C-alpha cells in the first residue's frame, strides 16, 4: 500500500507540474528522461562491475543504475535549457491537457527507473510490502502466497519501464548486446535479486567476478540415459518441471572465498535458486531465464554425493568451505541453447557446451560426484529428493579420542544424524518454529511426547549433513567450572569441530534431554559459547547433544573447547 501511494503521488505530481509548463517543455523533459534512462542502462553493468562492486558491495547495483540516470538527466536538462531558450504556445486546453499526459509518462519512467534501482538494494524480499514473485515448488516462480504483501502495483511502473527500455534497446537505441535480449523481465530480476535475503537478512547479494567460474557445461537431449545417478533421475522423472523433449543442462561452478570480496558472507556461501539461473537462447527473441531444478556438490572424500532438488522457496545451496564445486541442474526446452550462467546479476558466458549421449554416464557421474551406474544395475534412491534430504548415517555413533587439555566438557561420541533424542508433539512446541516434522529455529523446554508425537528432527540446511555430538562433563580431575572455560590460557571458550583442512564448524542446535523425558531445545544459526551449555546442571540420566551442519564428505579431525582438544576421525556422510 505504501509503495502504491508513493508511486501514484510521484506520477500525479509530475503530471500536474508539467501541465503548468506547457506541452513543448513537457515533451523536452520526456526526451531527456528517455535518453537519460538509455544512458543509465547502457553503462549500468560496466560501471557497477568495474567501479562500484568493491567499494559499495551490496549497494553497487542500485548505485550503478541510479547515479548515471540522475547525472545524465541533470546534464541533459541543463543543456536543453541553454540550447532551447523559448517555448511554444498552443491553445491552453490542449497545451495543459497534453502536457499533463506527457508529464505523467515522464513520471512513470522516472518512478520506474527509481523503483528498479532501489529494488537492487539489500532491503529484503518485500519492498515496502511489495513482492511480485517468490520461488514455488520445483523451481518455478509465482506470486507469493503471503497475503501480507502486495504482488502488483496500481501503476506497474517497474514493468512498464523495463519493457519500454527493453524495446528501445532492440530498436532506436539498439546495440550488439541489447538490454532487451540479455536482461529479460528486468522488473522480475529486481524482485529475484532481493529474495536472497529471505534465507538470511545478512546474506550477500553480490558476486565478485574473481570468486566464481564455470568449469564445465554438459547438455543431454531427449530422455535421460540410464547412467544418470538415481536421485537425480528420480527427481527429474517425478518432480522437476520437465516436458517431453526437454534438455538437461549441467553447469559445474567453482566458488572461492577471496579476501575483501563479498561473494561469501562471513565465510558462508548461500545460493538460493533465484541467484543461480541459466539464460538460454530460443530460436528468436530475448533470452529465457531458467531456475535450477536442483544441485549436487562434488564431495571431498566420499564416493557418493546426494542430489538436492528445488522443492520450495526455502531450498538453497550453501557451503562453509573456502572453496566449493557445485553442479547446478537445469531442464530447458529442446529448442533453446544455454548461453549464460547468471549469479547475483553477474553473467558468465558458457561457451559451446559438450553434448551428452546415452552411455556417457561417466561424464555425468564425474560432474555430480557419483560413480556411474552400470546398465541393468539398480541405483540407490536414498530417502527421496527434496530440500531436507541429508545423508544421515544409520550406524552406531562413533567414539572420539581422549581429551587433551582442560575444559568443563568433552565429547563422548559422534554420528551423522539430525534426529532429536526423543519425539515431541507439535502442540507442545509453541516456542519453536516447526515445519514438516522438523524444528527450524527457537528455544523451549518441551515435555516428553506421547505415541502420537510427530516432530522428530532438526532441520538440515540443503546440501549439508547434520553431525551430532553427545557431550558430557569432564571427569573430576580434568574438569574446570563452566564459567572459567573462556579464561583458559590461549583459549577463547568456544566449542567447535575442525576438519583436516582447518575449517571450523559451529553448532546450530543443542538439545538437553532430561531423565524424565523432557527436552530443552535450542536451534539457531550459530551456537559456540561453552559457558552457555548446561554442563553443571546435568543430573544422572540426563544427556546433552550438539548438532553441527556441514558439507558431505568432509573428514573431521578434532573437537575443540577452548584449549582442550579431542581427536576425531570421522568422515561426514560415510
pLDDT tens readout for residues 491-507: 457 899 999 988 899 99
Predicted pLDDT at 428: 86
Spell out the domain ranges in the chain. Answer: 2-192, 203-368, 398-571
Contacts of 303 (CB under 8 A, 6+ apart): 370, 371
CA distance 559 to 550: 14
pLDDT grade for 357, boundaries at 50, 70 and 90: very low
pLDDT grade for 477, boundaries at 50, 70 and 90: very low
User: Which of 43-47, 284-288, 437-441 bottoms out in mean pLDDT, i.e. has the lowest?
Assistant: 284-288
Contacts of 110 (CB under 8 A, 6+ apart): 10, 14, 33
The 10 Å CB-count burial string (b at 16+, else e) for 480-503 is bebeebeebeebbbbbbbbbeeeb
Could you give the 3-state DSSP secondary structure of residue 21? helix
| Contact by Cβ (8 Å): 449, 426 | no
pLDDT at 334 over 60: yes
User: Which of 2-11, 139-148, 365-374 bottoms out in mean pLDDT, i.e. has the lowest?
Assistant: 365-374
Q: What percent of the chain has pLDDT over 70?
A: 80
Predicted pLDDT at 138: 59
Work out the mean pLDDT of the chain and round it to a whole number: 80
Longest dimension (CA), the chain: 100
pLDDT at 349 over 70: yes
pLDDT mean over 229-258: 69
User: What Cα–Cα distance (Å) separates residue 261 from each residue in 61, 267, 269, 451?
Assistant: 15, 11, 12, 51
pLDDT grade for 92, boundaries at 50, 70 and 90: confident
CA distance 47 to 64: 6
379: its cell numbers: 541405483
Neighbouring CB atoms inside 10 A of 176's CB total: 5
pLDDT at 456 over 80: yes
- Residue located via cell numbers 541543463: 78
pLDDT at 475 over 60: no
More confident residue, 101 or 359: 101
CA distance 456 to 437: 6
CA distance 118 to 268: 26
Neighbouring CB atoms inside 10 A of 92's CB total: 9
Sign for the CA dihedral angle at 70, 55, 42, 291 comes to: negative
Predicted pLDDT at 262: 86
Neighbouring CB atoms inside 10 A of 285's CB total: 11
Predicted pLDDT at 391: 32
User: Which of 19-23, 257-261, 378-382 bottoms out in mean pLDDT, i.e. has the lowest?
Assistant: 378-382
Q: Please report how the helices 2-21 and 92-118 are oriented relative to each other, as an axis angle in degrees rounded to 10.
A: 140
Predicted pLDDT at 340: 93
Residues 390-416: tens digit of each pLDDT? 333 333 467 788 888 777 889 999 999
More confident residue, 460 or 124: 460
Amino acid at each position: 500500500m505504501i509503495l502504491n501511494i508513493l508511486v501514484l503521488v510521484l506520477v500525479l505530481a509530475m503530471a500536474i507540474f508539467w501541465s503548468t509548463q506547457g506541452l513543448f517543455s513537457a515533451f523536452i523533459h520526456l526526451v531527456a528522461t528517455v535518453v537519460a534512462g538509455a544512458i543509465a542502462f547502457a553503462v549500468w553493468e560496466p560501471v557497477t562491475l568495474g567501479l562500484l562492486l568493491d567499494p559499495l558491495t551490496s549497494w553497487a547495483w542500485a548505485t550503478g543504475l541510479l547515479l548515471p540516470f540522475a547525472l545524465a538527466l541533470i546534464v541533459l536538462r541543463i543543456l536543453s535549457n541553454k540550447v532551447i531558450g523559448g517555448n511554444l504556445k498552443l491553445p491552453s486546453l490542449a497545451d495543459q491537457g497534453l502536457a499533463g499526459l506527457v508529464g505523467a509518462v515522464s513520471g512513470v519512467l522516472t518512478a520506474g527507473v527509481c523503483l528498479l534501482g532501489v529494488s537492487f538494494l539489500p532491503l529484503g524480499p518485500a519492498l515496502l510490502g511489495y513482492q511480485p514473485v517468490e520461488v514455488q515448488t520445483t523451481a518455478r516462480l509465482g506470486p507469493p502466497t503471503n497475503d501480507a504483501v502486495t504482488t502488483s502495483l496500481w501503476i506497474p511502473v517497474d514493468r512498464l519501464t523495463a519493457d519500454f527500455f527493453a524495446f528501445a534497446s532492440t530498436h532506436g537505441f539498439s546495440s550488439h548486446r541489447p538490454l532487451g535480449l540479455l536482461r529479460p523481465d528486468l522488473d522480475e530480476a529486481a524482485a529475484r535479486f532481493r529474495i536472497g535475503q529471505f534465507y538470511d537478512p545478512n546474506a550477500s547479494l553480490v558476486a565478485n567476478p574473481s570468486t566464481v567460474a564455470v568449469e564445465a557445461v554438459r547438455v543431454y537431449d531427449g530422455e535421460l540415459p540410464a547412467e544418470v545417478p538415481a536421485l537425480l533421475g528420480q527427481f527429474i522423472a517425478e518432480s522437476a518441471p520437465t516436458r517431453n523433449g526437454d534438455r538437461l543442462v549441467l553447469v559445474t561452478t567453482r566458488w572461492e572465498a577471496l579476501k575483501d570480496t563479498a561473494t561469501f558472507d562471513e565465510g558462508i556461501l548461500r545460493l538460493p535458486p533465484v541467484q543461480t539461473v541459466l539464460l538460454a537462447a530460443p530460436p528468436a527473441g530475448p533470452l529465457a531465464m531458467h531456475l535450477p531444478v536442483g544441485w549436487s556438490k562434488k564431495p571431498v572424500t566420499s564416493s557418493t554425493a546426494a542430489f538436492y532438488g528445488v522443492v520450495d522457496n526455502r531450498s538453497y545451496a550453501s557451503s562453509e568451505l573456502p572453496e566449493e564445486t557445485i553442479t547446478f541442474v537445469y531442464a530447458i526446452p529442446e529448442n533453446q541453447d544455454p548461453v549464460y550462467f547468471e549469479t547475483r546479476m553477474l553473467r558468465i558466458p558458457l561457451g559451446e557446451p559438450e553434448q551428452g549421449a546415452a552411455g556417457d554416464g561417466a561424464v555425468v557421474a564425474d560432474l555430480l560426484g557419483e560413480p556411474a551406474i552400470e546398465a541393468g544395475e539398480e541405483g540407490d534412491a536414498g530417502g527421496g529428493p527434496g530440500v531436507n534430504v541429508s545423508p544421515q548415517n544409520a550406524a552406531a555413533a562413533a567414539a572420539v579420542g581422549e581429551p587433551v587439555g582442560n575444559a568443563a566438557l568433552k565429547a563422548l561420541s559422534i554420528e551423522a544424524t539430525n534426529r532429536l533424542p526423543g519425539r515431541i508433539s507439535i502442540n507442545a512446541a509453541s516456542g519453536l518454529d516447526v515445519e514438516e516434522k522438523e524444528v527450524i529455529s527457537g528455544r523451549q523446554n518441551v515435555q516428553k511426547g506421547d505415541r502420537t508425537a510427530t516432530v522428530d528432527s532438526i532441520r538440515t540446511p540443503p546440501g549439508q549433513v547434520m553431525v551430532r555430538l553427545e557431550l558430557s562433563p569432564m571427569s573430576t580431575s580434568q574438569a574446570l567450572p563452566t564459567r572459567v572455560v573462556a579464561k583458559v590460557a590461549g583459549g577463547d571458550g568456544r566449542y567447535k569441530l575442525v576438519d583436516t583442512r582447518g575449517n571450523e564448524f559451529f553448532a546450530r542446535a543443542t538439545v538437553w534431554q532430561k531423565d524424565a523425558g523432557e527436552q530443552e531445545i535450542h536451534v539457531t544459526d550459530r551456537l559456540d559459547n561453552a559457558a552457555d551449555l548446561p554442563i553443571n546442571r546435568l543430573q544422572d540420566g540426563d544427556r546433552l547433544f550438539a548438532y553441527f551442519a556441514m558439507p558431505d564428505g568432509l573428514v573431521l579431525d578434532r573437537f575443540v573447547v577452548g584449549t582442550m582438544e579431542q581427536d576425531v576421525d570421522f568422515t561426514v556422510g560415510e
